Amino acid sequence: MMSESLADRIIIPEALVEALRHAEHVAVLTGAGISAESGVPTFREAQKGLWAQYNPEDLATQEAFERDPRRVWEWYAWRRKLIARAEPNPGHLALAQIEERVPRFSLITQNIDELHFRAGCKETIELHGSIGRSRCLSCDEVTREWVEGDETPPRCPNCGGMLRPDVVWFGEALPFDALARAVAAAHDADLFFSVGTSGVVYPAAALPLEAIEYGATAVEINPEETPATVMMDFVLKGPAGRVLPQLVAAAWPEQAAPQQ
């Protein structure tokens, strides 16, 4: 068995372990960083290959889609293929284990890759939609099935209108219900984690502040500092795929799965 080097072990403060063991409601906000160890490039990482010349913030907009629907659709089709080959990583799986072990758990994600769902999280609040769904510009039908082929973007199976990815672009409002549930969770949680997000995109980036204002203990898990780092009660500086399993093992040693 590969022994973990000391450098790999992140120091998990005993006070945080106790807070997790006794938490009533754990809320978690995740960003692209939690999927990085699944091989899904983060939003701010330089785009690879064909898309290296584009800035995601210039592609993830209504204007970009109206200007060149084919290019924007093909960017999402490239990401969809990459995500289809990705697997949930130990960070996603650890969050699903925490969901099993605390009285209340809210998983709020900015990610559109559905990896939390595939990791077994029962209910996820998708603030920015999902790459697995598309929405019709004409009849608003949301579908997971469409025919990729002669036309790009493909046509709505219901009315033949043009499809767009069912995601939230810059300048677009977040789904009202998802945002309301996320804010309610941030206000009610006694322990709030911010995992793998650069904390620059609003309104998602405001959620940790909301949680802190309503009295939650706040934890950041990220190899880098973010604008929110200074407000956190605990800062675990490391990759989520290592930190989260170590945190779960420390909180529930009696149930720790053998380290793979």
**Site residues for Zn ion per CB under 5 A:** 136, 138-139, 141, 156, 158-159, 161
Q: Is-contact 19 8, C-beta < 8 A? A: no
Residue of 163, 201, 193 lying closest to 56 (CA atoms): 201
Residue 36 binds which entry of ligand BV8, Zn ion, none, CB below 5-8 Å type-dependent: ligand BV8
- Type of residue at 217: T
Token representation of residue 182: 């996320």
Residue 161 binds which entry of ligand BV8, Zn ion, none, CB below 5-8 Å type-dependent: Zn ion
- Report, in Å, the least distance between residue 10 CB and ligand BV8: 11
Q: How many other C-beta atoms can be found within 10 angstroms of the C-beta atom of residue 220?
A: 26
Residue 196 binds which entry of ligand BV8, Zn ion, none, CB below 5-8 Å type-dependent: ligand BV8
- Report, in Å, the least distance between residue 132 CB and ligand BV8: 12
- Where in the sequence numbering do the catalytic residues fall? 128
Q: What is the binding site for ligand BV8 (CB under 6 A)?
A: 31-34, 36-37, 42-44, 60, 110, 112, 128, 167-173, 196-198, 200-202, 204, 221-224, 226, 239-241
Q: Is-contact 22 14, C-beta < 8 A? A: no
- Report, in Å, the least distance between residue 65 CB and ligand BV8: 11
Residue 202 binds which entry of ligand BV8, Zn ion, none, CB below 5-8 Å type-dependent: ligand BV8
- The set of long-range contacts for 201-205, using a CB threshold of 8 Å and a minimum separation of 24, is 201/110, 203/174, 203/179, 204/29, 204/31, 204/108, 204/110, 204/127, 204/128, 204/174
